[in-house]
Amino acid sequence: MAQSPESHRGGAVLTLDGVRRGALAMGPVLIPIFVFGAAFGIAARGAGLEGWAAALMSAVVFAGASQFAVLDLWQTPVPWVPLLLATFAINARHLLLGASLRMLTRGLAAWKRYAAMLVLSDLNWAALIAAEARGERDLGYLVGGGLAMWVVWLGATVLGAVAGGLTLADVQRYGLDLVLVVFFTTTLVGLHRKRIDDLPWLVAGLAALAAVWWLPPNWHVLVGGLAGGIAGLIQHGRRP
């Protein structure tokens, strides 16, 4: 993959061409993202949210799992403390995702780095990491993928919120709610670096399972990520 001269000097870049490549790379998952977004719109309508409120949440929050969690807690009066804790537990993984991109963003202006992180999600992060292994050094790849998903997610939320007669059972009947899980799982398998990843992945999996059993809902995401990261650091420190 041809890179700009600036990227060859060791610093990252953020270009419109990178944005274009990133948006195109997310093409295969835009349909399941649309289904997921429509499902959120349907669920939001069922929870009593107006269509404009559901759309505003998708536009500003842009985090499917935590948005669904909010719906589970939505009542009058709003239980703000449990709601904030649940949202933090689910989205805390973004701390780890952002930290993993630190070296890739080296050399970029701070405002570009932080603006790019506004559209960070599991899927465009995984796509960027896979592309980085092929020589990608343009953070626009992350931005393009994130913007493409954001537009589809927002549009699907609106349609789901206003479409009458549809329910979550219609989505689940055909297994469409599992498409994103399958895609992300296959992406992770493609990122596996043979034996060097075995220990961190095993530790992360066991820690996440333990957290599911012994901790409040949603904390397994953060616990598994931290445990796997610590295991990876220890393993790296012991390598000759």
Query: What is the 8-class DSSP label of residue 13?
Result: B
* Pair (30, 100) in one structural domain: yes
Q: For residues 160 and 56, what is the distance between their CA atoms, to the nearest angstrom?
A: 14
Name residue 15's amino acid.
T
Domain hosting 201: range is 194-240
Q: Which residues pair with 13 in a beta bridge?
A: 138
Q: 66 with 98, same domain?
A: yes
pLDDT tens column, 141-161: 999 999 999 999 999 999 988
Question: Which DSSP letter does residue 91 get?
Answer: H
Helix (H, G, I), strand (E, B) or coil at 59: helix
- Which residue shows structure tokens 């992350």? 142
One domain for residues 186 and 199: no
The model's pLDDT over 3-26, given as tens digits with 9 standing for 90+, comes to 443 344 456 899 999 999 999 999
User: Burial letters for 170-184: b for 16+ Cβ neighbours within 10 Å, e otherwise?
Assistant: ebeeeebeebbeebe
Would you mind telling me the total number of residues written for the chain in this entry? 240
- On whether both 111 and 163 belong to a single domain, the answer is yes
Residues 34 and 72 reside in one and the same domain: yes
Of the candidates 35, 26, 23, 24, the residue with the CA atom closest to the CA atom of residue 153: 35
Same domain, 137 and 102: yes
* 166: Cβ contacts below 8 Å, ≥ 6 apart: 38, 42, 160
Q: Kindly state whether residues 14 and 116 are assigned to the same domain.
A: yes
The per-residue pLDDT for range 87-126, each reduced to its tens digit, is 777 787 788 888 889 888 988 999 999 999 999 998 899 8
* Domain boundary pick from 153, 171, 191: 191
Q: What are phi and psi of 166, to 5 degrees?
A: -95, 145
| Average pLDDT rounded to a whole number, residues 173-197 | 62
- The answer to whether residues 218 and 174 belong to one domain is no
pLDDT for residue 180? 57
| 89/116 same-domain check | yes
Over residues 217-229, the pLDDT tens digits come to: 667 767 887 788 7
Q: Which residues pair with 138 in a beta bridge?
A: 13
**HSE (side-chain half, CA atoms, 13 Å) at 31:** 4
Contacts of 237 (CB under 8 A, 6+ apart): none
Q: Please tell me whether residues 165 and 108 are part of one structural domain.
A: yes
Q: How far apart are CA 41 and CA 67, in angstroms?
A: 10
> How many structural domains does the chain have?
2
Q: Are residues 51 and 141 in the same domain?
A: yes
